[in-house]
Amino acid sequence: MSTDTFCAVATVRQDLPDGSFILRNAHPLQPYGRCITDALLLWAERTPDETFLAQRAGNLDAPEPCWQRQSYAQTLMRARAVGQYLINAGCGPDAPLAVVAENSIDTANILLGALYAGVPVAPVSPAYASVDAAFDKLLACFSALKPAVIYTDNLSRYGVALVKACTEDVIVIAPGAPTGAVALDEVLATPAGSVDVHNASIAPDDVAKILFTSGSTGVPKGVINTQRMLCANQQQLAQIFPFVQQRKPVLVDWLPWHHTFGGNEVFFLALSHGGTLYIDAGKPAGALFERTVNNLRDVSPTIHFNVPLAFHQLVNRMMHDEVLCQSFFNRLDLIFYAGAGMPQKTWSDLEDLAVKVRGHRVPLVTAWGATETAPLATGVFFDSRRADNIGLPVPGCDIKFARVDDRYELRVKGPNVFPGYLARPDLTSSVFDDEGYFRSGDAARLVDDADPAQGIIFEGRIAEDFKLQSGTWVSVGRLRGLLLGELLPVVADVVIAGSGRTDVRALVFIDLAAARRLVGDATLNYEALAQHVDVASFVQAGVSRYNQRNPGSAMYIAAYVLATQPPLAQAREITDKGSLNQANVLANRAQAVEALYAD
């Protein structure tokens, strides 16, 4: 591990009279940019011909990728054209752009064009326009947003929903020669006029993006992201990971741009440091994961961002695929996971594989934050061997540990914190405390009360946690991570039940590929595998080991059942990031939960 991978740890604690306390980074936040597209101007001038974006051309499932590339100079040229078109179309602070599209070079050009022109842009989950059950979420997004222009990459797939959700005067942009829409090529051919003047007038507190929360517990909320938030967060990231300023990042990434992790942290990291972003059309879902594997065989990243589910699948593949393993670790400086807790077994397996290839561990870190914090608020920038350690505050960001009953809620203040929700002053006022801290709803504690520098332990969503009949709190996030550590790789995820009941029980979801390898039969379907004696024995042994180590009533698994049907995306059981929505699984499978408690 290089000594310049991380910044020095220096933490200040301030205790408050009510038992709460504030933790902050002792290093001041250094100056940051005015607007996020200043980085595009910088690198288009310094390295105009260097590749900024790349995506696979032709057959996305071909084992040997062919990459379509776009340089920094080309990106700036196309962003200026898009920005000018949006200005000509009447877009502005109160007339934003909505984007309903998958990650691609075209989508990036549209997003950057809006950001360059100072037009607020709202990437909206394509699932809202393609799944009938999610149409209410699309309608809620557009009702709050009131877009003047919409870009979509697939009019035939999303067009009907977009027409139903929008007013007649909305301009729609799409690739090809779409009927009733403006062709993307026409937009990209727009001569630049006043767009540079608009760009020069952008101020740090202007609205850059509106990101909608997933809406898993209600109607999606439009989170206003200012230019200051985006620029400050990239500076915070650069200060805790100074190596990104010495070596330009090379990223292979699928994380959706309508989420803050992929759309802010990953995308703008590549842009801010003159790096290259290879857009991965795969994801950790079924056959699509093969695309990710092929891409990582071809391109060796310097940093790899992903969710724990994907790392779990990568580990399973790398153990049997030497080419993939060598390519993945070849020049890797950092492994970064977020979006959910990393099971300790996945963590240990990644470390073992890194030692096998490189002869030493590759730093494996996480961070904590939210859409409302741009997203980074804490980060692991020290040597940690615990998967549940979310690090320490980043420079310029104060973290308050606020007493809520017998737990601490994480609350945040800093230049990376949002000003409010779009068109929802009621929600905005309720989400800030009387000292101006954003209430995250997440529970946490220090690793060591006597030594804050050891980091913060994440204890899950307060809303997900529940009490047993006895009044004992169950920390779902922590329990789930520990249980999965005993059940990987055959089990992909678990859902925890027990609110208001006498004990804790679990729904167990298998990993199809790993279960097939265990039983030695690649033809069995999900239901057959869930009922297979070898799978049952594996899970039983894992739960027994877990229970021996966790005998307390808030952690002990009194019973479990192997789900015979996989999680269903159309029932909103799977989030866009590939993790399970605990609440939706429990609601959709209420009969299975009742049967689990029938004894």
d(CA 356, CA 73): 40
Tokens of 47: 């390295």
How far apart, in whole angstroms, are the C-alpha atoms of residue 99 and residue 338? 24
Using only C-alpha atoms, what is the Rg of the chain?
24
- Count CB-CB contacts under 10 A for residue 324: 18
210 touches 222 (CB < 8 A): yes
Q: How far apart are CA 286 and CA 451, in angstroms?
A: 44
Q: Which pTM was predicted?
A: 0.87
3-state SS class at 369 = strand
Cα 281 to Cα 287: distance, rounded to the nearest angstrom: 11
- Return the pLDDT at 216: 54
Q: Alpha-carbon distance 422 to 146, whole Å?
A: 11
Task: Give residue 62's pLDDT.
Answer: 80
H-helix or E-strand spanning residue 307: none
Please check whether residue 37 is in contact with residue 79, taking contact to mean a CB–CB distance below 8 angstroms.
yes
Structural domains of the chain in order of their starting residue, each with its CATH number: 11-32+240-432+451-461 (3.40.50.12780), 44-223 (3.40.50.980), 466-596 (3.30.300.30)
Give helix then strand counts, H and E, for the chain.
22, 27
19's tokens:
């038992």
SS (H, E, C) 523-538: CCCHHHHHCCHHHHHH
Nearest to residue 430, comparing CAs of 372, 473, 477? Answer: 372
Which tokens belong to 200? 């020069």
Nearest to 278 by CA among 296, 260, 259, 257: 296
The end-to-end CA distance of the chain, in Å, is 52
Confidence at residue 287, expressed as pLDDT on a 0 to 100 scale: 85
Q: State how beta strands 466-467 and 473-474 pair.
A: antiparallel
Residues of the chain where predicted confidence (pLDDT) is lower than 70: 1-3, 214-218, 576-578
Per-residue model confidence (pLDDT) at position 394: 98
CB burial of 151-178 (b: ≥16 within 10 Å; e: otherwise) equals bbbebeebbebbeebbeeebbbbbbeeb
**Per-residue pLDDT, 578:** 65
pLDDT, tens digit, for every residue of 18-39?
Answer: 999 999 999 999 999 999 999 9
> Which letter does DSSP use for residue 264 in this model?
I
Tell me the pLDDT tens digit for each residue of 254-294: 999 999 999 999 999 999 999 999 999 999 887 899 999 99
Which residue in this structure is represented by tokens 């502005």? Answer: 92
Q: Where are the alpha helices (DSSP H) in 118-262?
A: 127-130, 135-145, 155-165, 184-188, 195-200, 227-240, 260
Phi and psi angles of residue 176, each rounded to the nearest 5 degrees, phi first: 80, -145
Q: Output the pLDDT for position 445.
A: 93
Q: Are residues 331 and 300 in contact, defined by beta-carbon separation less than 8 angstroms?
A: yes
Phi first, then psi: what are they for 15, rounded to 5°?
A: -85, 140
- Tell which residue, 111, 104, 92, has the closest CA to residue 151: 111
